[in-house]
């Protein structure tokens, strides 16, 4: 496992973003762990988060990137943070853009804010966690209505490795249906492997009991 992956897992825990217990996902599944990027609340956290996204982009995408797109709402600060990190830490000035939930009917109008996409642009979608892939599917027509763009990849914080509409993972479905490759900073399997029986700041988050609960969830809902 790359060092930045282990560091990212610890960062999520310390930020209160990765938690363990009893939760219910948007799809109604009872899950023993939860990832809530809305719990990043400080400038320092967002700066660090942007660095992790930037490292993931550089480690996986070897084509020129013209823009980062952040789906409203959680993708907006993520795309901005990643764009800043690419500029300040990596010397790569990459534009960003995002959508409005509702079209603006005054001023400049439209549903997009930020960089104006052009034909031939390579775009990376920046998301938090992909479960069913709904937001990605919804934003593709919007992006392609702006210009004939190439989706160079989807970057997410955590791949829960859950099944989509069939027996394959959502990430596999997105690749088969739209040709989009997804690059997670970490997967749920990497989370288990990294901190099972390994305390973080004196707290043991994945002991034998929690590991078994996570394995049970994976065997029921995931394809991995």
- Asked about 104 being catalytic, the answer comes back as yes
Helix (H) or strand (E) holding 170: helix 170-178
> 43-60 vs 3-14: helix axis angle to the nearest 10?
150
pLDDT in tens, the chain (224 residues): 778 999 999 999 999 999 999 999 877 889 999 999 999 999 999 999 999 999 999 999 999 999 999 998 899 999 999 999 999 999 999 999 999 876 655 455 578 999 999 999 999 999 998 877 778 888 999 999 999 999 999 999 999 998 887 888 889 999 999 999 999 999 999 999 999 999 999 999 999 999 999 999 999 998 86
pLDDT given at position 105: 56
Hey, how many other C-beta atoms are within 10 angstroms of the C-beta on 218?
A: 17
Query: CA 223, CA 150: separation in Å to the nearest integer?
Result: 28
Query: CA 127, CA 125: separation in Å to the nearest integer?
Result: 6
**CATH number of this structure's domain 3-221, picked from the four choices 3.40.50.2020, 3.30.565.10, 3.10.20.30, 3.20.10.10:** 3.40.50.2020
Question: Does the pTM exceed 0.85?
Answer: yes
- Asked about 106 being catalytic, the answer comes back as yes
**Phi, psi for residue 7 in degrees, rounded to 5:** -60, -40
159 beta partners:
130, 187
The single residue of 106, 111, 116, 163 carrying the catalytic annotation is: 106
The single residue of 30, 64, 104, 118 carrying the catalytic annotation is: 104
What is the C-alpha radius of gyration for the chain, rounded to an integer number of angstroms?
A: 18
């Amino acid at each position: 496992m790359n060092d930045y992956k282990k560091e990212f897992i610890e960062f999520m825990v310390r930020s209160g973003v990765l938690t363990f217990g009893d939760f219910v996902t948007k799809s109604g599944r009872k899950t023993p762990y939860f990832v809530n990027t809305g719990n990043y609340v400080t400038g320092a956290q967002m700066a660090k988060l942007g660095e992790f996204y930037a490292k993931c982009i550089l480690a996986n995408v070897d084509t020129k990137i013209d823009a980062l797109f952040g789906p409203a709402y959680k993708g907006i600060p993520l795309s901005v943070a990643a764009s800043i990190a690419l500029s300040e830490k990596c010397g790569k000035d990459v534009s960003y853009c995002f959508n409005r939930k509702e079209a603006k009917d005054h001023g400049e109008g439209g549903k997009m804010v930020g960089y104006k996409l052009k034909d031939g642009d390579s775009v990376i979608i920046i998301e938090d966690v992909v479960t069913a892939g709904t937001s990605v599917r919804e934003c593709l027509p919007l992006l392609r209505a702006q210009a004939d763009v190439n989706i160079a990849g989807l970057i997410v914080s955590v791949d829960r490795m859950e099944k989509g509409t069939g027996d394959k993972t959502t990430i596999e479905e997105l690749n088969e249906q739209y040709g989009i490759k997804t690059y997670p900073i970490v997967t749920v399997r990497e989370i288990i492997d990294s901190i099972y029986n390994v305390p973080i700041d004196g707290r043991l988050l994945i002991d034998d009991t929690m590991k078994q609960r996570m394995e049970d969830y994976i065997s029921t809902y995931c394809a991995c």
